[in-house]
Structure 1
């Protein structure tokens, strides 16, 4: 329990530092805006690369479903982790149908409206039996962005942490192909409150059953 509490505090502090740091460089990143996109039409996945001494390195890939002409990917059964991803777009000419980003030219971090592409990099690491997506600053500060929930030798879906979502970069009202892993501190607080309310409400039927048994 102590380790879980310590990990939670560390994650919260790292996110706060990231949010504060983003504000100090806001003036240097005024050029780009962001636009909301359908979260169901985008997926981030960890692709295993070479194996060294029994350990794999991983590459971050983002796919987008741009039209309904053909499915760009398929996922294994939801609820069983990690969720495996099959990149169906490799089987056809996906131009105009699917979008794909494979490096920092195609994706970056944005926090509270500030583009952090020049100060934070995204990296995948094998930690405690799952692959975690971190944003790491130039000074080494680390913030958790998402995780796979397990590990496999196939391509794994990355589940974003609360408060994080996919958006796209825009410039002068024009949507670009660049993806953001975007964090909204206000939305994260709202999500935490809603989750707490849901936990409380889930206990109500239990107490009602106790009252009925007593009567």
Structure 2
């Protein structure tokens, strides 16, 4: 009886160990990477939705121009915000020409190389007269990802915040159809420093620059 009990315990622990190892291996095998894409060939937009009570919500849609055969969307005049997007791909068979993502199966968040598709969700909210795109964690923390720079009844283009860009998910070297809103904190910090340097340089008076050039000329002539 004792031997039977011992064998049963060993069987249970072996099963548990095998299950855990299988789960870990499966998780390791499904580690996704990302690849950079042309930012000019992708657009995110907020599509207004209305319920019976007149309350407006917004749906996040991403369009991608995969070939130059036909344009997949058009945009209203640049500089007049918000910029409205017209999805032209609805007028023809866009297979192989355009890509489209309309829910969390087609897009998610990636920060510093970490896929946050399980821990974060993307939402659009009307805040301060514009539509803002947030990434919200399971604990309620918010990350501002993009904004429309205005409000309209049409489909509004979402402009990504500094440090954010569109990338695509890849697996074992194969590029998938899934889009990332991707953030690289190191690159964002570099861009912030460069922007600050440019602002400081822009504040330097022309007279000071002339003074420096004059001193250099005198030093060379002496």
TM-score range, shorter chain: 0.7 to 0.9
2:206 corresponding residue in structure 1:
208
Stretches (4+) displaced over 6 A = 209-212
- Alignment of 1:186 onto 2:208: no
Higher relative contact order (CA 8 A, sep 6+): 1
CA change 1:201–1:103 in 2 (3 A) is: same
Per-residue CA deviations over 1:70-93 (Å, capped at 9, x if unaligned) read 000111122211111111111111
1:40 corresponding residue in structure 2:
40
Structure 2 CA distance for aligned equivalents of residues 85 and 78 of structure 1: 11
CA change 1:84–1:164 in 2 (3 A) is: same
2:152 corresponding residue in structure 1:
152
Q: How does 1:14-25 map to 2 (within 5 A)?
A: none
RMSD: 1.8
Gaps of 5+ in 2: 1-26, 211-222
Q: How does 1:97-112 map to 2 (within 5 A)?
A: 97-112=97-112
Deviates more, 1:190-199 or 1:56-65: 190-199
Structure 2 CA distance for aligned equivalents of residues 211 and 132 of structure 1: 42
1:117 corresponding residue in structure 2:
117
Structure 2 CA distance for aligned equivalents of residues 211 and 201 of structure 1: 10
Structure 2 CA distance for aligned equivalents of residues 131 and 125 of structure 1: 5
Structure 2 CA distance for aligned equivalents of residues 129 and 59 of structure 1: 17
Q: How does 1:27-176 map to 2 (within 5 A)?
A: 31-51=31-51, 55-176=55-176
Deviation at 1:51, TM superposition (A): 4.9
TM-score (norm 1): 0.81
CA change 1:100–1:209 in 2 (3 A) is: same
What is the number of residues matched between the two proteins? 183
TM-score (norm 2): 0.78
SS at match of 1:169: strand
2:12 corresponding residue in structure 1:
none
